[in-house]
Structure formats: C-alpha cells, structure tokens
C-alpha cells in the first residue's frame, strides 16, 4: 500500500476531472463549474454537496501544473501527520473557510455593500484546503521555527487581503487560521495513544517538497 493514498487518489481525481473539462465546450464547462460551485445561489438552494464537489476542480491555472505542485504539499503533510489528519484538515479548511466567506457575503449582499451578482459567480478550487494544510505543517516544525512560520504566513495572508480586497483573499486567511489551530491541537495531543507526529529533521527531499509548497502558498495568497 502507498504511504500517501489520499494524496495519490485526490490528485488523480483532480487530473481526471481537469482533463475531461479541458475537452468540453466552453458552454458545457461553464455549466459544470456553476453546478459544482459553492456560490450563495447554490448554498441557499440547499446544494450542500458543492461544499465537497468544489474542491475537485483546481480553479485557476493549468491542471497539469497545479496538481503536481499541490501533490508536493499534500504528500509532505500526509507523510508527517497521516492520511486521516490530512483529509480532515484539507476538507475542514476548505469547508470551514467557504462557509465563513459565504456568511460574510450574505451580510454584504443583504446590506447592499456588494452586487447581488456575486451570488452566482463560479467558486471552485483547491486553494482554501491547501492553505489549511500549509498552516497545519507548523505542527511538524521544530519549536524554533514554529512561530516564525506561523507569523510569516499570517503576514503574507494579511498582505494578500490588503492588496486584493476580495472575499477569496479573506478566505485564504481564514483557511490558514484553521490550519494553524489544527497544528496547535496536534501538538497538544502528540504523545497520546494513536496521536503521532513525525517530527524528525527534514531530509533533502522533504525540504524540496516544502520549498514547492511555499511557492504554492505564496501564489495562492498574493496572486489570488
């Protein structure tokens, strides 16, 4: 059995769906993406399955580039704190940030701060889940680097919000915060039965994966 089943399975699904969509007509692709989106129109009409389905489309960027880069982040996390935790943190960050952003959008639309058109925009992608996992990696760093890692990413995410001023950038900040909270919980529970963390020093391959993950995170936060 592979040591990274969640990473391999999820990335294979992303590649398959992305490839199929690339061969679809523009009209068909737009219809599918709208159906999968976690926009307010879908959520308010009870299409809660979109909270999961929206994470199976890469969003912006070519799938052949996005998926391998994302795989580096997910593989490192899965090797360091396990499959179940990776899945919980990735989808917890994706769903949690999506719902928090949706709540903010509802208030903004209700008070007339933004147009009702925002209720039907396409809203899919892997970036919220990726940011949550990036934050959760704090748990496997040495004490010496944890605060610097967390503070640096919070600063970059805050800068992204200041520059971009969109609900997507706010969602990235919220997803990162969810990941950091997850890291705190994992560190607190570490050492108890069934609660393991691989905190061994990073090898050269680990550092390569981490460097690629950092590039992905910076791209999500500053070029959203």
The Cα 110–Cα 99 span in angstroms is 16
Q: Which of these, 95, 105, 103, 2, lies nearest to 48 by C-alpha position? A: 95
Can you give the pLDDT at residue 84? 94
135-173 pLDDT, tens per residue?
A: 999 999 988 889 999 999 999 999 999 988 888 999 999
For 27-41, write each residue's pLDDT tens digit: 999 999 999 999 999
pLDDT band of residue 188 (cuts 50, 70, 90) is: confident
Q: Binning pLDDT at 50, 70 and 90, where does residue 213 land?
A: very high
Give the chain's end-to-end CA distance (angstroms, integer). Answer: 36
pLDDT at 4: 95
pLDDT exceeds cutoff 60 at 1: no
Q: Average pLDDT over the chain, rounded to whole?
A: 91
This prediction's pTM? 0.93
Distance CA 203, CA 79 (A): 12
Q: 45-59, 63-77, 86-100, 188-202: lowest mean pLDDT where?
A: 188-202
pLDDT mean over 44-48: 92
The torsion defined by the Cα of 125, 47, 15 and 206, in degrees rounded to 10, comes to: 50
> What does the pLDDT average to over 105-116?
89
Report pLDDT for 2.
63
**pLDDT value of residue 194:** 64
What is the 8-class DSSP label of residue 142? Answer: -
If you average pLDDT over residues 210-224, what whole number do you get?
87
Q: What are 220's two structure tokens?
A: 């999500």
Reported confidence tier of residue 60, pLDDT bands at 50, 70, 90: confident
223: pLDDT strictly greater than 90: no
């Amino acid at each position: 059995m592979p040591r990274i089943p969640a990473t391999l399975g999820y990335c294979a699904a992303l590649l398959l769906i992305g490839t199929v969509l690339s061969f679809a007509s523009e009209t068909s692709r737009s219809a599918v993406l709208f159906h999968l989106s976690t926009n307010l129109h879908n959520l308010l009409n009870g299409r809660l399955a979109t909270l999961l389905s929206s994470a199976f489309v890469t969003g912006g960027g070519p799938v052949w580039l996005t998926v391998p880069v994302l795989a580096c982040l997910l593989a490192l996390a899965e090797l360091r704190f396990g499959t179940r935790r990776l899945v919980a943190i990735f989808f917890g960050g994706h769903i949690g940030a999506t719902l928090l952003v949706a709540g903010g959008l509802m208030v903004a639309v209700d008070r007339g701060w933004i147009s009702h058109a925002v209720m039907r925009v396409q809203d899919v992608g892997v970036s919220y889940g990726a940011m949550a996992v990036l934050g959760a990696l704090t748990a496997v760093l040495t004490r010496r680097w944890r605060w610097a890692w967390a503070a640096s990413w919070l600063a970059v995410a805050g800068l992204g919000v200041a520059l971009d001023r969109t609900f997507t950038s706010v969602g990235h900040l919220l997803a990162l915060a969810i990941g950091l909270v997850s890291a705190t919980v994992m560190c607190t529970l570490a050492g108890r039965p069934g609660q393991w963390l691989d905190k061994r020093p990073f090898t050269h391959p680990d550092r390569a994966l981490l460097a690629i993950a950092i590039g992905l995170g910076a791209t999500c936060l500053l070029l959203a």
